[in-house]
Amino acid sequence: MLRVGITGGIGSGKSLVCKSFELLGIPVFYADDEVKKMYDDTPSIHEQLIATFGEDVYSNGILNKKQLAQKVFGNKEAVQQLNAIAHPAVAKRFLVWTEKQKNVPYVIEEAALIFESHADQFLNKVINVSASEVLRVKRVVLRDGATPDEVRQRMAHQLSDEERNTRADYTIINDENTPLLSQILRIHEELCK
């Protein structure tokens, strides 16, 4: 069974693409959702976060995301520390999850930071979902209520679309003009061979 990654910048439409693959019967592991669960349900992660960022990142055993964000974002070293805690743990969860999937030609791991976290080393193929920065900013502003500057700040912590396109095996253009389903079906057919 192949392990396929789907990545893309914030607002590129990774979730929409993954939902389309799920409709084709392909199981999808949402890495970012798993990380959020692990922050609260994995004692070793809990302990590492407190040791690294302080007691105040948890309140009654639940991660205080706002407090952690204040300590991490804008601080490259803190981001690297957080990633060093989260990425290896989620990689293990993905491999365990993969072993449980049966009778499918491939599985998908959806993650914004596949290349940055080196998760691509556990994958056979990577798909990048690509959209212009202008469109991505617009989508995230509408979705999250963030300001355009806040969105661009988050984008600054991710690889450029050009870099992801160069490193990916496939690129799906999600520009609201190029038909999305035909791109997904073409890749699905190739991966099923």
Phi-psi region of 138 (alpha: psi -120 to 50; beta: other; left: phi over 0): alpha
User: 132: Cβ–Cβ under 8 A, 6 or more apart, which residues?
Assistant: 175
40 in Cβ contact with 61 (< 8 Å): yes
- pLDDT mean over 42-68: 92
User: pTM to 2 decimals?
Assistant: 0.90
DSSP string, 26-65: --EEEHHHHHHHHHHH-HHHHHHHHHHH-GGGEETTEE-H
pLDDT digits (tens, 9 = 90+) for 105-148: 999 999 999 998 899 999 999 999 999 999 999 999 999 998 99
33 in Cβ contact with 135 (< 8 Å): no
Q: How confident is the model at residue 60, as a pLDDT? A: 87
Q: How confident is the model at residue 97, as a pLDDT? A: 97
Q: How confident is the model at residue 114, as a pLDDT? A: 93
